[in-house]
A and B are shown apart, each in its own frame.
Chain A
Amino acid sequence: MKTYKKSYFARPVFLAQLVSMFLIWLLVTGIALWVSNLVYLSLDLNDAFGASIGISIVAVPIFFTLASILTYVFIGLHKEEKKIYNSNGDDK
């Protein structure tokens, strides 16, 4: 059976990966906030509010879906990796 060994810098690398995931979500949330601000602006100026809402309804979910896909893969891969290490008793 194939055995898996964790390298000595596994923890800092994992932390860096977590930070990168956090940054992805920060970016997506930033985009959503930016679009919301533009929608608010259109309401404030009474200028094509409906169109702005329509565009934001299409745009914002795309970014959240992309971030969700990345998170799904990230969690899925790490969960499985952890399982492998645990089964090899090599996780300490």
Chain B
Amino acid sequence: MEDKYKNELDVVLYKPIYETGKGFYYTVVILLMVLIWAAYTFITQVYYGLGVTGMNQPVSWGFYIVNFVFFIGISHAGTLISAILRLSEAEWRRPITRMAEIITAIVLAIGGLMPIIDLGRPDRVLNVFTAGRLQSPLLWDVTSITAYFTASTVYLYLPMIPDIAKLRDRGGKLTWFYNFLSWGWQGTPKQKHTLERAIAVLMVMVIPIAISVHTVISYIFSMTLQPGWHSTIFGPYFVVGAIFSGIAALMIVMIVFRKVYHLENYLKEIHFNYLGTLLLIMSFLWFYFTFSEYLTGIFGAEPNEMKTIMYKFTGPFAPLFWGMVLCNFVIPVIILSFKKFKKIPGILFASITVVIGMWLERLIIVVPSLANPRLEIPQGIYVPSLVEWSIFIGGIAAFILGYTIFAKFFPLISIWEIEEGRKEIHQVEDRIHSYMPDVEVNQ
């Protein structure tokens, strides 16, 4: 029954669902082992308290908050990029959107856990329900991330319904599961209209939600009168950084799964070329914001602000700061500006450096401001412990595992959208004609 898919045009997209290679099991086992280790270290932390971490006085926020901001930033890969591409009817979006949306849903779940891990006493998160204070930016975070997670999960799920119905119709052991998720989809014009209408509303909704989420995350820093944090441009700065790291993460995922699942026919050089250009633009934007942020601080030369800035420029965080500039600006700009380097291996390298650079940026924002207190306390330093490293690596493993398992049950590329794209080639041609002066449009 399940072999039916072999006669399909998009056989490659069904293959990972119906055929499970050894590689899948090896990957799952290795990732599960990493996760079990991370869970063990977390239990150690709950048992012994936050003393097992590198956090101290005055540096009371470390890897967990860094990872929280970083993972939520990566989540902008999906919903935001996908919604913008759908809204602008960019035809090249079709093989990309779902891959991007999956990143959002998984990464948001991981990122959302980080502040709970940071609590030391995770059970105290329940106090949010009984004694939360809505005027606290931390509560704004809880609300906006919950809204974003709900919206992006719905936005991932709805465009999947036609593909789930395809899997249902192919039969097999999981028919009941696909039947449950397909919501009676039969592909009639009326059903299509209903679904498209809902997706259109969601598209418009998720863009402001996504932007507001990272703006609100920046508020947990910028709403405090802390040198290096109290900045009016932190909202857009965080949003730009989030989109920047999101695009980079998306390209890494695309390149890896393209290779593993042989998706070369769907994810072509042109897709990486377009996304690479977008990454280059974001790199310049990121540099502009970083430059503005530090220039105003240096020009004002307020002593406490300067102490934090010098901690980053020439102090203990200098290698990390200049490493960030190298990873987020110098390397991607060199690679993505020249056609010679702007090939898939080059783009992969640039994307990896951007992801590392953006993680460094989050670290550089969080730690130095806390390490330089204005009270008569000696300057602090933060060295993450094995527990923190393990939980960080566990978070990355959870992401890869989540993505791999998703790919086992659902197509990574939207099959119905690809089919629709094939059918709509003439409509696209007409649309292009409609943009042009003095060209007749076929009705």
Please give me the residue from chain A that is nearest to B165 by CB atom.
Answer: A77
Contact with B along A62-86 (1 / 0, CB 8 A): 1101100110111011101110100
Please, how many residues of chain B have a CB less than 8 angstroms from a CB on the other chain? 37
Q: How far is the CA of A19 from the CA of B205 in the complex (A)?
A: 26
Residues of A within 8 A of B133 (CB): 38, 41-42, 47
Residues of A within 8 A of B161 (CB): 73, 77
Looking at chain A's contact residues, the main secondary structure is: helix
Cβ of B154 under 8 Å from chain A:
yes
**Beta-carbon contact of B180 and A72 below 8 Å:** no
Interface residues in A29-67 by Cβ distance below 8 A to B read: 31, 34-35, 37-39, 41-42, 47-48, 51-52, 55-56, 59, 62-63, 65-66
Q: How far is the CA of A55 from the CA of B191 in the complex (A)?
A: 36
Q: How far is the CA of A31 from the CA of B149 in the complex (A)?
A: 14
Cβ of B7 under 8 Å from chain A:
no
**Beta-carbon contact of A35 and B134 below 8 Å:** yes
In the complex, number of A-B residue pairs with CB atoms less than 8 Å apart:
105
* A42: min CB distance to chain B, Å: 6
Q: How far is the CA of A70 from the CA of B134 in the complex (A)?
A: 27
* B436: min CB distance to chain A, Å: 36
Looking at chain B's contact residues, the main secondary structure is: helix
**Beta-carbon contact of B191 and A80 below 8 Å:** yes
Cβ of B1 under 8 Å from chain A:
no
Please, how many residues of chain A have a CB less than 8 angstroms from a CB on the other chain? 39
Please give me the residue from chain B that is nearest to A16 by CB atom.
Answer: B180
**Beta-carbon contact of B134 and A38 below 8 Å:** yes
**Beta-carbon contact of B135 and A66 below 8 Å:** no
* A21: min CB distance to chain B, Å: 10
Question: Which residue in A38, A39, A70 is a CB contact (below 8 Å) of B154?
Answer: A70
**Beta-carbon contact of A56 and B194 below 8 Å:** no
Interface residues in B109-139 by Cβ distance below 8 A to A read: 129-135, 139
- A17-B180, A69-B202, A73-B198 as given contacts; A56 in contact with B186, CB under 8 Å: no
Residues of A within 8 A of B131 (CB): 41
Return 25 A-B CB contacts under 8 Å, by A number.
A7-B179, A13-B180, A14-B184, A16-B180, A31-B146, A35-B143, A38-B133, A42-B134, A48-B134, A51-B135, A55-B139, A59-B143, A59-B144, A62-B147, A62-B209, A65-B201, A66-B150, A66-B154, A66-B205, A72-B198, A73-B194, A76-B195, A76-B198, A80-B190, A84-B188
The 8 closest A-B pairs by CB, nearest first: A76-B194, A81-B184, A52-B134, A48-B135, A77-B183, A38-B134, A78-B184, A73-B198
